[in-house]
């Protein structure tokens, strides 16, 4: 009873401040509201993530109140999404100042993040469907909000098509689930009695539908085009998109884990995600446009996240989604500083750098082996060990091996140690907070992990060999990746034509 009352009070306060935030967003659509009201709005939308964080810290277990499901996972995701929305809107106060749709951006950003948080707080599948649909609709409108720009309108239409297909597929899956189980409540659907009503064919077909509705907004192969075309959106919109919406596939598959676990669809997800990792990494390496590099990175990272789901490691997938969201939103908000002028060229000792690189590689290898030995029978641990070892070696190379002089390397070591401490702390905290809310899943066998590892390593080795050989095949792959990541003709303008039209009409251009 105490847990119920605690969550009832937290949920009541949360919905109140969330409602106030939505009302504040509506106010900005009124022409008489001054532009300076945006700063007041920022203060108002700071309340929901604070309340969600306090509810998360209280950690009183899982409680279902009406159509809502309150547990540590739903509170964590609400805290994460609403915090990202708050940071981005605060950043946009100056970044978007002077835009014709200035106040509309804040309204749509608020609606989108609120709908995203409510979607995964709901226990009723109909509310989940509505919340996720509003989220995708809000994102579509944000991409094309600069209506006078033909390129933005076209990118918005492309995203709308992909999102509509994804939402329609989810609708079919949810209606199918209700027809078989007789329940709209997710908690009832995932009960043993309800799952027993699904035969093998029905379960596989429903999981395939859920898989498709997940990988489309996650920009996984072959549905990555919409995310590549969305780079025309303002940088704050890209930050929200990559941090709070693209990575929602992890929580979707986590919520449906009892239905998804043990099904052959996990293998399908594993294959598609592995292809996405390779393609996303290739796009990131060949692109010269900074935002498209970030898009390629997101495609690859979402691939790794879904691989974790396919292997039954849902805690790792949620942790990955949150950390990637924070990291990627930071990179987007710093996109303007990507081009540095008059950067001094540092003359480094090649021999000295090579020694430090070898040290970093050895350190990554040792840590990867040590991590795998903690649970050598789980297929996910082998893949995770590879990612950890590679990340350690890369971080060491960037922070220490390429440091300038002794001071630069010492500073790099301090940053490296700090990042390691933060990573370990976050992992421990998430494991403590989410151990009751996230299903352990059916861990895939070590053979599945070895197979995935071999595919990734062999493909990477072949790609590296082809590039170094400068063969005809390597040039074909290189050009194919460039073409895959480049925008179509409708998304390119030699100069912003809509600005010319505004000037010819005597309008003000900010």
Give pLDDT tens digits for 392-413: 666 666 656 665 666 666 776 7
416 vs 114, more confident: 114
Let me know: does 55 contact 14? Beta carbons within 8 Å: yes
For 314-334, what is the mean pLDDT?
82
Q: Using DSSP bridges, classify how beta strands 68-70 and 63-65 pair: parallel, antiparallel or unpaired.
A: antiparallel
For 276-296, what is the mean pLDDT?
85
Both tokens assigned to 336: 């303007």
Asked if residue 502 has pLDDT above 50, the reply is: yes
Asked if residue 339 has pLDDT above 80, the reply is: no
- Rounded to an integer, what distance in angstroms lies between the CA atom of residue 178 and that of residue 397? 52
So what's the pLDDT on residue 342? 46
Sign of CA dihedral 126, 128, 129, 135: positive
Q: Give the whole-number percent of the chain exceeding pLDDT 90.
A: 23
Separation in Å, CA 124 to CA 174, 383, 412: 10, 35, 49
Q: For helices 265-286 and 200-215, what crossing angle results, to 10°?
A: 20
Sign of CA dihedral 136, 138, 141, 146: negative
Q: For helices 2-27 and 37-45, what crossing angle results, to 10°?
A: 170
So what's the pLDDT on residue 509? 44
Asked if residue 73 has pLDDT above 70, the reply is: yes
So what's the pLDDT on residue 320? 82
- Rounded to an integer, what distance in angstroms lies between the CA atom of residue 273 and that of residue 5? 42
So what's the pLDDT on residue 333? 80
Q: Give the whole-number percent of the chain exceeding pLDDT 70.
A: 75
Sign of CA dihedral 41, 47, 48, 53: positive
- Rounded to an integer, what distance in angstroms lies between the CA atom of residue 209 and that of residue 351? 54
162 vs 371, more confident: 162
- Rounded to an integer, what distance in angstroms lies between the CA atom of residue 239 and that of residue 87? 10
267 vs 87, more confident: 87
Helix (H, G, I), strand (E, B) or coil at 98: coil
317 vs 397, more confident: 317
For 294-312, what is the mean pLDDT?
86
Say which residues have a Cβ less than 8 Å from residue 134's Cβ, sequence separation at least 6: 111, 112, 115, 119
Element (H, E) at 70: strand 68-70
- Rounded to an integer, what distance in angstroms lies between the CA atom of residue 282 and that of residue 65? 46
So what's the pLDDT on residue 235? 86
∠ CA 323-49-228, nearest 5°, is 45
Give residue 342's region: left, alpha or beta (phi > 0; psi -120 to 50).
Answer: left
Both tokens assigned to 314: 């849902």
Every domain of the chain and the residues it spans: 1-132, 149-334, 350-485
So what's the pLDDT on residue 510? 45
Both tokens assigned to 31: 């022409």
Asked if residue 346 has pLDDT above 60, the reply is: no
So what's the pLDDT on residue 450? 62
Q: Which of 110-114, 183-187, 220-224 has the highest mean pLDDT?
A: 110-114
pTM of the shown model = 0.83
- Rounded to an integer, what distance in angstroms lies between the CA atom of residue 209 and that of residue 165? 11
Adjacent-strand bridge partners of 70: 63
Both tokens assigned to 356: 């430090």
- Rounded to an integer, what distance in angstroms lies between the CA atom of residue 276 and that of residue 191? 33
So what's the pLDDT on residue 166? 93
CA 328 to chain centre: 8
């Amino acid at each position: 009873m105490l847990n119920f009352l605690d969550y009832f009070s937290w949920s009541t306060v949360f919905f109140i401040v969330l409602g106030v935030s939505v009302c504040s967003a509506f106010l900005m659509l009124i022409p008489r509201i001054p532009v300076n009201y945006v700063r007041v709005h920022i203060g108002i939308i700071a309340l929901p993530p604070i309340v969600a964080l306090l509810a998360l810290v209280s950690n009183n277990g899982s409680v279902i109140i009406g159509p809502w499901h309150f547990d540590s996972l739903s509170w964590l995701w609400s805290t994460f999404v609403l915090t990202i929305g708050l940071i981005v809107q605060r950043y946009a106060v100056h970044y978007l100042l002077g835009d014709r749709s200035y106040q509309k951006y804040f309204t749509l950003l608020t609606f989108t993040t609120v709908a995203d948080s409510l979607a995964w707080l709901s226990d009723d599948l109909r509310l989940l469907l509505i919340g996720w649909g509003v989220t995708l609709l809000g994102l579509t409108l944000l991409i094309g909000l600069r209506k006078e720009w033909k390129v933005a309108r076209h990118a918005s239409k492309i995203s709308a098509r992909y999102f509509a297909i994804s939402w329609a597929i989810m609708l079919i899956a949810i209606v199918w689930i209700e027809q078989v189980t007789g329940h709209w409540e997710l908690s009832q659907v995932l009960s043993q009695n309800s799952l027993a009503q699904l035969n093998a064919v029905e379960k596989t077909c429903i999981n395939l539908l859920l898989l498709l509705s997940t990988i489309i907004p996650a920009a996984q192969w072959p549905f990555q085009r919409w995310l590549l075309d969305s780079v025309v959106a303002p940088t704050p919109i890209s930050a929200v998109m990559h941090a709070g919406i693209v990575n929602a596939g992890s929580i979707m598959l986590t919520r449906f884990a009892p239905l998804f676990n043990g099904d052959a669809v996990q293998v399908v997800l594993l294959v598609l995600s592995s292809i996405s990792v390779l393609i996303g990494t290739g796009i990131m390496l060949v692109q010269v446009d900074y935002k498209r590099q970030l898009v390629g990175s997101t495609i690859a990272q979402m691939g790794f996240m879904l691989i974790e789901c396919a292997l039954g490691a849902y805690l790792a997938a949620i942790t990955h989604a949150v950390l990637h969201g924070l990291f990627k939103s930071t990179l987007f908000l710093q996109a303007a500083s990507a081009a540095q002028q008059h950067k001094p060229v540092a003359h480094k000792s090649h021999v000295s750098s090579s020694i430090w690189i070898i040290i970093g590689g050895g350190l990554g290898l040792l840590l990867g082996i040590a991590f795998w030995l903690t649970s050598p029978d789980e297929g996910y641990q082998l893949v995770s060990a590879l990612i950890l070892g590679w990340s350690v070696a890369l971080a060491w190379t960037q922070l220490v091996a390429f440091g300038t002089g002794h001071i630069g390397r010492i500073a790099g070591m301090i940053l490296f140690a700090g990042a390691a401490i933060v990573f370990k702390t976050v992992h421990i905290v998430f494991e403590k907070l989410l151990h009751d809310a996230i299903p352990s899943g059916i861990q895939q066998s070590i053979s599945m992990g070895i197979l995935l590892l071999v595919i990734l390593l062999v493909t990477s080795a072949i790609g590296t060999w082809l590039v170094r050989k400068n063969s005809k095949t390597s040039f074909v792959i290189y050009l194919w990746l460039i073409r895959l990541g480049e925008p179509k003709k409708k998304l390119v303008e030699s100069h912003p034509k809509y600005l010319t039209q505004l000037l010819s009409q005597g309008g003000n251009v900010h």
